[in-house]
A and B are shown apart, each in its own frame.
Chain A
């Protein structure tokens, strides 16, 4: 296959792709703080009730939350492709292994793992399963000796989408205005090349319509300046949605740029696949770094150190408080010694929250009602 060279900043090098490099004017991006996800699945249901409540979509979770290390939807999506890819070494910040495009077998565009029918039938398999067994007398350390964490996932509206590259009909396109990747529902013929090719397994086949569908990045909301449903409904307030620039154009007032480029706290999931995915994860500080490095690349150590230092870091503390505090997409933010502020693209203030919530201590005895206050819910 004749491949093009494109620059993939997540890998620190040029990488192969089917089409020449074309970046959108703005790139849709999200940041998830994995230290805070509680696997309540509110995001999955917010997405499901909004977009996939129709016939033929019963099994579809454009947003899913799985428990790592053992969970996965579809089952084994990550192990399947990682074991095929072979050694995935980094030399410092530069990826020394092959991407999925570079590792494509002869006559194929991309290396692929194909999920079986039953793999799609267990969206919450492995939930809450821990990585090992707890022995008598075990104690807690950081990172935990026996661990698990939750991994929420949606389509990452990749800069170099595998789904788009794979489609022989060019029925998949990446919008120039916001980078959202869509399957044209009138052009698709259900060949499922995208279902095979996406390493994150996010395009799905609808048996009712016999064509493929995928996460639409909540584009009708985004067009109105609003964050996606999975972000605004997140109970754990782990999510922030906005736009990401390339590293050399990073704007430190842009909250996504600040987390991804300036502080390098949020990292892409399996950057070695080579699609430049645009969901960035703040790694969980209690899981082993070696496991996390395979998932999020060589930046994990720094990210974990930065995260642990947040109590002494007023800007990051303020920015994390902004997560889940508003529905509008923020263009910029600011933190002072008391408050964190968010602004739209015209500089209007959208939100203002205290960095540390004030604490109120109530008297044990309520003299007005003449009762003792109990701490029972």
Chain B
């Protein structure tokens, strides 16, 4: 009996590995070499017009509970260009609702691209595995709105909210009333604990590493610059970064190389966040010209 169960398990595992692990990539993307300054390429620049767009089908995250019943975004269109120094990716996907406003029950529209830090051996495509990290470039619509309109806070989320006084936020000066920002921040737990979500950042793209589901960790680098725009029910997101960077745990691109790539999109309106997301069903590949 036990042997039988074991056999079934082994077959099931082999299937999972084959289909979603080291199996054939579903989509092959070309990153076209262009005579343009890719470090500055914008969302609607002409360079994108004559560059092939690859349709990447997405499906619900189906490996770990909680799994979304259904997902809001079923495909994302991917383009890529490079100039030998910088590489850029443009993602477009349909999303009828723009979810970029911070509220206690709002979820942000978001998207992420994932690369293996090393392709040999290739990590499990679903967020990597122990000792085989992946590098993730993670965009959130909340951060785009922060960058455009100023960082969202409780005052922008709930303008009618009232409070008498925050601790140490004296409206007078004098002995004992002058407190440092750090002293005041003791009353904002995530900030006091130096949670990377709440720490200062310049860019709308968060860089992170992971060695398996639930292990995502913000990297202390910001090498990826992004722009995002929602128009007529479509998000367009551009991410650009140097092809090589000093950080050894980051993805590096070389002309002529094939690089595994994976995608995830979150539809905030469907309360998608964390593991409730749409994902590409396996590693795809980007061929760098």
Contacts and interface: CB of A to CB of B under 8 A. Distances in A.
A pairs with B: yes
Interface of A: 1, 53-59, 107-109, 114-117, 120, 166, 168-170, 184-193, 204-211, 213
B176 interface: no
A55 B104 contact: no
Contacts of A120: 104-105
Contacts of B202: none
B223 to A, nearest CB: 21
A56 B151 CA distance: 13
Contacts of A56: 153-154, 188
Interface string B159-188: 001010011000000000000000000011
A185 B195 contact: yes
A170 B191 CA distance: 20
B187 A54 contact: yes
Contact of A107 (B66, B103, B106, B152): B66
Contacts of A208: 153-154, 188, 190-191, 198
A206 B190 contact: yes
A233 to B, nearest CB: 18
Interface stretch (B51-59, B87-95, B268-276): B268-276
A53 B106 CA distance: 23
A54 B198 CA distance: 14
Interface in B64-114: 64-69, 102-107
B192 interface: yes
B154 A211 contact: no
B103 A189 contact: no
A185 B102 contact: no
A211 B102 contact: no
B163 A58 contact: yes
A204 B167 CA distance: 20
Given A58-B154, A211-B197, A53 B273 contact: no
B8 to A, nearest CB: 15
A115 B271 CA distance: 12
B274 A193 contact: yes
A101 B102 CA distance: 30
B190 A191 contact: no
A166 B276 CA distance: 12
B211 to A, nearest CB: 13
A209 B190 contact: yes
B175 to A, nearest CB: 22
A55 B64 contact: no
B65 A1 contact: yes
B103 A193 contact: no
Residue from the set A1, A54, A107, A209 with the largest chain B CB neighbour count within 10 Å: A54
Interface of B: 64-69, 102-107, 142, 152-154, 157-158, 161, 163, 166-167, 187-195, 197-198, 213-216, 271, 273-275
Residue from the set A1, A120, A166, A208 with the largest chain B CB neighbour count within 10 Å: A208
Given A107-B65, A108-B65, A166-B66, A116 B105 contact: yes
Contacts of A53: 166-167, 187
B101 to A, nearest CB: 10
Contacts of A168: 64, 66, 213-214, 274-275
A207 B187 contact: no
| Top 7 closest pairs, chain A to chain B, by CB | A209-B190, A191-B274, A54-B187, A185-B193, A107-B67, A209-B198, A186-B193
Contacts of A209: 188-191, 195, 197-198
B195 A188 contact: yes
Contacts of B153: 55-56, 207-208
6 contacts: A116-B105, A120-B105, A186-B194, A193-B66, A208-B153, A210-B102
**SS class of chain A's interface: helix, strand, loop or mixed?**
loop
A54 B102 contact: no
B189 A54 contact: yes
A190 B67 CA distance: 17
Contact of B154 (A115, A193, A207): A207
A3 to B, nearest CB: 10
A189 B68 CA distance: 18
B188 A117 contact: no
A210 B157 CA distance: 12
Contacts of B167: 53-54
A11 B174 CA distance: 59
Contacts of A59: 104, 158, 161
B37 to A, nearest CB: 34
A107 B107 CA distance: 20
A60 to B, nearest CB: 10
Contacts of A115: 105
B66 A185 contact: no
A342 B192 CA distance: 38
B102 A191 contact: no
A123 to B, nearest CB: 13
B129 to A, nearest CB: 16
Contacts of A191: 273-275
B187 A192 contact: no
A192 B65 CA distance: 14
Given A210-B198, A211-B197, A185 B214 contact: no
Contacts of A210: 102, 142, 190, 197-198
A207 B104 CA distance: 6
Contact of A185 (B104, B152, B192, B275): B192
Nearest to B155: A55
Contacts of B158: 58-59, 207
A253 B107 CA distance: 50
Contacts of A205: 104-105
A117 B104 contact: yes
Contacts of A192: 107, 273
Given A1-B65, A58-B154, A189 B274 contact: yes
A114 B105 CA distance: 9
